[in-house]
Amino acid sequence: MPQAKAQLQDLKQAVLRSGKSPTLVTVITECVELLEAADITIDEFPNDVDGHKLDGTGNGIRLYLPAPARQFVFRVSYSKRNLGNLVHEMTHCCVEVAYRNHFLNYPVNVAVDCKIVPRIDQHGNCLNNAAIVKALRDGAAEDTRFEKVGVLQGLFDRCEFQFRQNLMMTYNGGETTYTLSRRDSSDAFKGKLREKLVYAKGPAKEGQGGGPHIDFDTVINHLLVWMFQFGYPKQRSMFSRTEPPENLLFLQLEEYARENHELRRIHTTHNRGVMATEHDRYDRVVT
């Protein structure tokens, strides 16, 4: 965890120095504060030695372990040095602390809407999570998020993402120094952004991630990090009267990230922070 926390703090300082995105600062701060407050184990998947790789995936799961304080316990894995991926997985955890409804990206009333008792194995894994999520899903909330991803896709289709060659960004995190180089071509970067937008829009396969119900907040924050790392928003040319389409996409991502964060903040405060006091309906099974 110390390395992940250091990387997030370095990214936060880079955003602050740039003055480009107060919203991204808020998102990163939320992730760091949760790392400090909750019981989170973080694993890094290997990455390439260059330190720049947009491929890779991760996971963020909740472990329902008995504890006197009923504190949230998470296990997070991410692709090493892929800070977009790390913020994505940490956002899953932030969503769960805020809404407490098996990682759905919006609030529902679990006590009223779900009659399924979580079946927990000896390691704290919820064995019937997919069934619970299916029972809790809110069509209206998902339609709104589906439409917002459509807005992003419309803006995305106008973007070109033309990079200057050999432009690099370096972070120094604690004892670890690594470099994010821009060796990916514009087409490769655009392809990765497209994949994430498709992932957010779904539909997801049964029991898997993706879709607006489970990966809206996460993908918004993920793309915001990637676009900042690749130099967006860019300064508008003095000869241009309009914003570049890439900047418009960044600004729309910021707006959605700000809305999502505010909704999570309200519910986290209402639910008394990281204390998981309402989760005491478990069927603990030995497997």
Predicted pLDDT at 117:
85
The confidence band for 171, taking pLDDT boundaries of 50, 70 and 90, is very low
Our CA dihedral for 84, 8, 249, 260, rounded to 10 degrees, sits at 100
Return the pLDDT at 58.
Answer: 83
What local confidence, expressed as pLDDT, does residue 67 receive?
A: 64
Tokens of 282: 């478990």
Averaged pLDDT, 4-12: 93
pLDDT more than 70, % of the chain: 76
For residue 202 the two structure tokens come to 């779904």
Residue 52: predicted pLDDT: 46
Answer whether 27's CB lies under 8 Å from 87's CB: yes
Q: Phi and psi at residue 189, in whole multiples of 5°?
A: -65, -45
Whole-structure pTM value: 0.87
Q: What is the pLDDT of residues 212-227, one digit of tens each?
A: 999 999 999 999 999 9
Q: Which carries the bigger pLDDT value, residue 49 or residue 68?
A: 68
Question: What does the H/E/C string look like for the chain?
Answer: CHHHHHHHHHHHHHHHHHCCCHHHHHHHHHHHHHHHHCEEEEEEECCCCCCCCCCCCCEEEECCCCCCCCECEEEEEEECCCHHHHHHHHHHHHHHHHHCCCCCCCCCCHHHHCCCCCEECCCCCECCHHHHHHHHCCHHHHHHHHHHHHHHHHHHCCCCCCCCCCCEEEEEECCEEEEEECCCCHHHHHHHHHHHHHHHHCCCCCCCCCCCCCCHHHHHHHHHHHHHHCCCCCCCCCCCCCCCHHHHHHHHHHHHHHHHHHHHHHHHHHCCCCECCCCCCCEECCC
Read off the pLDDT of residues 186-210 as tens digits, 9 standing for 90 and up. Answer: 777 888 899 999 999 886 555 456 8
**Residue 169 is encoded by which pair of tokens?**
């960004």
Pairing relationship of beta strands 39-45 and 59-62 according to DSSP bridges? unpaired
Question: pLDDT at position 250, please?
Answer: 97
Domain ranges of the chain: 2-284
Average pLDDT over the chain, rounded to whole? 82
pLDDT higher than 60, residue 1: yes
Better pLDDT: 239 or 267: 267
The pLDDT value recorded for residue 191 is 86
* Peptide bond between residue 46 and the one before it cis (omega within 30 degrees of 0): no
User: Which pLDDT value is given to residue 243?
Assistant: 86
Distance of CA 116 to the CA centre of its chain: 27
Structure confidence at residue 47 (pLDDT): 57
